[in-house]
Structure 1
Amino acid sequence: MDLQLILALAAGIATIVVIVLATRLDAFIALLLAAVVTGIVAGQDLLSIIDSITTGFGDTLASIGIVIGLGVGIGKILEVSGAADSLARAFLRAFGKGREPWAMGTVGSLVSIPVFCDSGYVIMNPLARSIARVKKGGYVTLALALGCGMTLTHHMVPPTPGPLAATGILGADIGSVILAGIVFTVVLLPVVVVYARWIGPKLEPMLNAQVKHDVYTEVSAASAEGTKEGSSRVSTLTADHEHSGDSSTDSATSQDAAGSAPGTGKKPGAFLGFLPLIVPLLLIVANTVGTAIDKSAQGELAGDAYEPSAWVAPLAFFGNPVVALIIGLILAVYTLLPRVTPRNQVQSWLADGAASAGLILLITGAGGSFGLVLRESGVGDALAEAIASISLPALLVPFLIASFVRLAQGSGTVAMITAASVTAPLIAPLGLDPLVAVMACTAGSMVFSYFNDSYFWVVTRFAGLDGINAIKGWSGITTAVWICSLPLLFVLDLIV
């Protein structure tokens, strides 16, 4: 591998680490500066570096930015209405006391099969916050279990785009890949829960102040009349979280900071609270399943020349994450809030939600900028070629290619596709089974999620982890499942 590209990668990573840990600047600036440094050291033209930064930023937010904004809006309404708390109590009753991390990891893994984990995490995070609020602790454990549960199926179970593309490129049977991915997920989920339970209590005291306040200070909506234009309502839940009874009948109390008449209202039940979450997810699932069936019928699993059939078009429209979450937000506003809630108050809550998403959007976009500079500098391709040229056990070739590409440019999907593309001509010469090759690509792509991965920023910002604590929590848990997937690959290789 070209020494210049190694230096470029090292310089970029060092820039992020130094700025985040040792300066007054935040991760947004660190990622942008790292992109500039990496491009310069790699020998890119200065103007092309800027083009990569802006293109990477725009492309990343085009796919996830609107979804984050809408998801945060739904989450805000769930919180202020008390519906999230009702859902949390329902989850606690269903899984039993002491099994909350299992609940979040399992739900995360199920949600992320049809939905991008970025979107799914934004949608489901309010549940983790509300469960932590009910328990009065343990938020980091729940946030990590939820996030990594989603990582498992997002990387390993079609019809998510990465494993589906790898399946088509390597010519594996999609049914076998789905089965193997589910088995890997079931075996690795205990690793997720054990790591989250181990590291969570150590990091809980390190929560940043804003997230700690947001998680453990509950705001609830209450009906009120005569609210003055521009007034703000500060609401707090005063009910004892330890009492028994149906959460749908818990009373919410509010204090009006501007002197308007206070009111009380009942929290929505778990069923109503679940609607703004389940309807978008079902729409997205319908789109994913319909598209997969249509592609399979056309014999184009890789999807390079795929043209949707007429019957798929409505599913594709309503199942698009943007449209689905718009529907979810409308449902949240009109089913969870009392009819007498003033319009300006609802708009204020939505504005608060949008404001909280602002930094997440900036950092996520900057992560995309850094990733594109790394790709266009040639670091990813050079790493893949170097690993492929080394004499290794056959299944380690796609595994290590995916791992190094993931480290170099951040995207697990890109890492899977790159590893599959490089490995495809080597299947016959190496005597590697296509199923094993696909699973090696998907498992390898989970390694050490860090600064150049947009999902790293989504999880760590919502989880309230900064700097080295983010690495200990999120980078550590993804590396744990990466390591533990390796024995599973050798077992699979022996079986097939």
Structure 2
Amino acid sequence: MDLQLLAALVLGIATIVVIVLWTRLDAFVALLVAALVTGFVAGSPATDTLNSITAGFGSTMGSIGIVIGLGVAVGKILEVSGAADALARAFVRALGAGREPWAMAGTGAMVSIPVFCDSGYVIMNPLARSIARRKRAGYVTLALALGCGMTLTHHLVPPTPGPLGVAGILGADLGGLVLAGLVFTVLLLPIVVLYARWIGPQLESQLLPPVRESVYGRAGVASGPPSSAVGLRERDTAADTDGAGTGDDVVIDDPAAALGTPPPGASPHRVSAGVASLPLVVPLLLIVANTVTTAVDRNRQGVLTGDEGYEPSRLAEVLAFVGSPVVALLIGVLLAVYVLLPRWTTRSQVGGWLSEAASSAGLILLITGAGGALGQVLRDSGVGEELAEAIASASLPGVLVPFLVATLVRIAQGSGTVAMITAASVSAPLVPSLGLAPLAAALACCAGSMVFSYFNDSYFWVVTRFTGLDGVAAIRGWSGITTAVWLGSLPLVLVAGAVL
């Protein structure tokens, strides 16, 4: 392997670690500096490195920036209207105490099959916050379980783009990959929940103060652990109306406090769980409908990937528009404002809440974009391609070749989709000589790409910033849980290589 490119990777990562952990600068600056260092050490011309940074930042913002902005707007309205609290009550009542992490992981896995995990996480995170607020603890556990549940199906189950492309490149049966990916997901979900339950309580005290305040209220910031916040909160005196134990045990914020006092003669504002779910469910259903209709349409025409030869039907065109994440979440914002809020809410109040949401999303957007910029520099510099070729030339058990190629490319440049597509492209000529079934090779590519999500992965920044983890806590929480499911997938990949 080219030692210069290896040095570029190592020094780029080291730059991020040093700046984030030992200086006064934040992750946004660290990522940009690391991108410059990586490009310089790799020998890329300065102008090419700058072009890669701007291209990577722009493409990342183009794909997820609007989605994050709209998602936090929906979350803010869910919070101030009391809708999030209503959903949390219904969720706890339906599941019973102690099963919330399983529900979050399972829900995340289902949502992320048709929906990009970035978008799905932004949409579903308010529910995790509401349940934690109701329980007065456990937000990190719930947030990590939700995020990693989404990671599983995003990497393993078509019709997400990565697995779909892998199936096309390797000639694997698409239906077989769907079924095998679902089996992998079910078997790996316990690892997600167990790791989240183990690490979550250890990281709860390290939540960033703004996130702690958003989840638990000001007392959670002032007094440390959320359980100390009883004095500044209202008690839910209802006798176990939500199924979460006796009413005296649950301490919550007044969900309607932000709405102000109703005008004379107006009824107190209440939101049912069914109505509260509309801004979340409707966008998800639109995105799902778009994905399913497009997949069926492509399968009917025999064009699984690419646009050449594909002529979308009229229905597919309509759903491609309303089911795009941007339009679907815009509809979610409209539903949140006009369905969840009472009629006596003023325009200035709504504008203020949306401004607060935009303000909270600002740093998340910058950091996510900078992560995309670093990933683009790593791709353009050739680090990922060099690693792939090096591992493919080593003497390894057949099924481990695509698995490790995907692993190293993921570490090198951050994108799981790029990692699995690269691994499939490198492995495709080797599959016959390795004695591998195309389905086993496809599973190896997809599973290997889940490893160690960290600074150069845009989803790392989405999850850790919304969860409120930074520095070492972010690595222990999110990088750790993604590595745990990667390790858990290794024996499954070996079994698949032996029996398929």
Q: CA separation in 2, counterparts of 1:128 and 1:100? A: 9
Q: CA separation in 2, counterparts of 1:241 and 1:457? A: 39
Structure-1-length-normalised TM-score: 0.93
Aligned-partner residue type, residue 9 of structure 1: L
Partner of residue 233, structure 1: none
Structure-2-length-normalised TM-score: 0.92
Q: CA separation in 2, counterparts of 1:394 and 1:97? A: 45
Partner of residue 241, structure 2: 245
Q: Secondary structure at the match of 1:265?
A: coil
Query: Structure 2 vs 1, CA of residues 304 and 416 (structure 1 numbering), >3 Å: closer, same or farther?
Result: farther
Q: How does 1:82-121 map to 2 (within 5 A)?
A: 82-121=82-121
Q: CA separation in 2, counterparts of 1:237 and 1:284? A: 38
Q: How does 1:158-197 map to 2 (within 5 A)?
A: 158-197=158-197
Partner of residue 222, structure 1: none
Over residues 268-307 of structure 1, what are the superposed CA-to-partner deviations in whole Å (9 max), with x where a residue is unaligned? 1100111111100000001000111111112121225234
Deviation at 1:308, TM superposition (A): 2.2
Q: CA separation in 1, counterparts of 2:371 and 2:312? A: 31
Q: Secondary structure at the match of 2:398?
A: coil
Q: CA separation in 2, counterparts of 1:378 and 1:150? A: 29
Query: Structure 2 vs 1, CA of residues 486 and 239 (structure 1 numbering), >3 Å: closer, same or farther?
Result: same
Tell me if the contact between 1:155 and 1:443 (Cα under 8 Å) persists in the aligned partners.
yes
Over residues 231-266 of structure 1, what are the superposed CA-to-partner deviations in whole Å (9 max), with x where a residue is unaligned? xxxxx973428742269xx975537999x9999833
Query: Structure 2 vs 1, CA of residues 364 and 263 (structure 1 numbering), >3 Å: closer, same or farther?
Result: farther
Query: Structure 2 vs 1, CA of residues 418 and 253 (structure 1 numbering), >3 Å: closer, same or farther?
Result: closer
Tell me if the contact between 1:102 and 1:145 (Cα under 8 Å) persists in the aligned partners.
yes
Partner of residue 37, structure 2: 37
Tell me if the contact between 1:255 and 1:262 (Cα under 8 Å) persists in the aligned partners.
no
Partner of residue 282, structure 2: 279
Partner of residue 222, structure 2: none
Tell me if the contact between 2:80 and 2:255 (Cα under 8 Å) persists in the aligned partners.
no
Q: Secondary structure at the match of 1:132?
A: helix
Q: CA separation in 1, counterparts of 2:441 and 2:415? A: 19
Q: CA RMSD in A?
A: 2.1
Deviation at 1:199, TM superposition (A): 0.3
Deviation at 1:311, TM superposition (A): 2.8
Structure 1 residue 341 corresponds to structure 2 residue 337:
no
Partner of residue 223, structure 1: none
Aligned-partner residue type, residue 204 of structure 1: E
Structure 1 residue 317 corresponds to structure 2 residue 321:
yes
Match of 2:367 among 358, 363, 367: 363
Structure 1 residue 482 corresponds to structure 2 residue 486:
yes
Moved more, 104-113 or 90-99: 90-99
Aligned-partner residue type, residue 12 of structure 2: G
Q: CA separation in 1, counterparts of 2:218 and 2:181? A: 38
Q: CA separation in 2, counterparts of 1:255 and 1:331? A: 19
Aligned-partner residue type, residue 285 of structure 1: V
Tell me if the contact between 2:80 and 2:259 (Cα under 8 Å) persists in the aligned partners.
no
Partner of residue 247, structure 2: none
Moved more, 302-311 or 116-125: 302-311
Aligned-partner residue type, residue 108 of structure 1: G
Partner of residue 437, structure 1: 441
Match of 1:298 among 297, 301, 311: 301
Query: Structure 2 vs 1, CA of residues 255 and 138 (structure 1 numbering), >3 Å: closer, same or farther?
Result: closer
Query: Structure 2 vs 1, CA of residues 142 and 255 (structure 1 numbering), >3 Å: closer, same or farther?
Result: closer
Q: How does 1:53-452 map to 2 (within 5 A)?
A: 53-217=53-217, 238-240=234-236, 243-245=239-241, 252=255, 254=257, 265-305=268-308, 306-452=310-456
Over residues 113-145 of structure 1, what are the superposed CA-to-partner deviations in whole Å (9 max), with x where a residue is unaligned? 000000000000000000000000000000000
Over residues 7-38 of structure 1, what are the superposed CA-to-partner deviations in whole Å (9 max), with x where a residue is unaligned? 00011000000000000000000000000000
Tell me if the contact between 2:70 and 2:333 (Cα under 8 Å) persists in the aligned partners.
yes
Q: CA separation in 1, counterparts of 2:415 and 2:137? A: 32
Q: CA separation in 2, counterparts of 1:492 and 1:343? A: 58
Query: Structure 2 vs 1, CA of residues 189 and 382 (structure 1 numbering), >3 Å: closer, same or farther?
Result: same
Query: Structure 2 vs 1, CA of residues 308 and 256 (structure 1 numbering), >3 Å: closer, same or farther?
Result: closer
Query: Structure 2 vs 1, CA of residues 72 and 423 (structure 1 numbering), >3 Å: closer, same or farther?
Result: same
Aligned-partner residue type, residue 109 of structure 1: A
Q: CA separation in 1, counterparts of 2:238 and 2:150? A: 30
Aligned-partner residue type, residue 294 of structure 1: D
Q: How does 1:1-20 map to 2 (within 5 A)?
A: 1-20=1-20
Over residues 380-414 of structure 1, what are the superposed CA-to-partner deviations in whole Å (9 max), with x where a residue is unaligned? 00000001100110100000000000000000000
Over residues 323-357 of structure 1, what are the superposed CA-to-partner deviations in whole Å (9 max), with x where a residue is unaligned? 00000110010110000001100110011001100
Tell me if the contact between 1:134 and 1:241 (Cα under 8 Å) persists in the aligned partners.
no
Q: CA separation in 2, counterparts of 1:126 and 1:340? A: 24
The percentage of aligned residue pairs carrying the same residue is 67
Query: Structure 2 vs 1, CA of residues 94 and 3 (structure 1 numbering), >3 Å: closer, same or farther?
Result: same
Q: CA separation in 1, counterparts of 2:256 and 2:81? A: 11
Q: CA separation in 2, counterparts of 1:289 and 1:83? A: 29
Query: Structure 2 vs 1, CA of residues 120 and 113 (structure 1 numbering), >3 Å: closer, same or farther?
Result: same
Q: CA separation in 1, counterparts of 2:6 and 2:265? A: 62
- Equivalenced residue count is 477
Q: CA separation in 1, counterparts of 2:454 and 2:60? A: 16
Deviation at 1:491, TM superposition (A): 1.6
Q: CA separation in 2, counterparts of 1:174 and 1:45? A: 42
Q: Secondary structure at the match of 1:24?
A: coil
Query: Structure 2 vs 1, CA of residues 355 and 241 (structure 1 numbering), >3 Å: closer, same or farther?
Result: farther
Partner of residue 226, structure 1: none
Query: Structure 2 vs 1, CA of residues 209 and 341 (structure 1 numbering), >3 Å: closer, same or farther?
Result: same
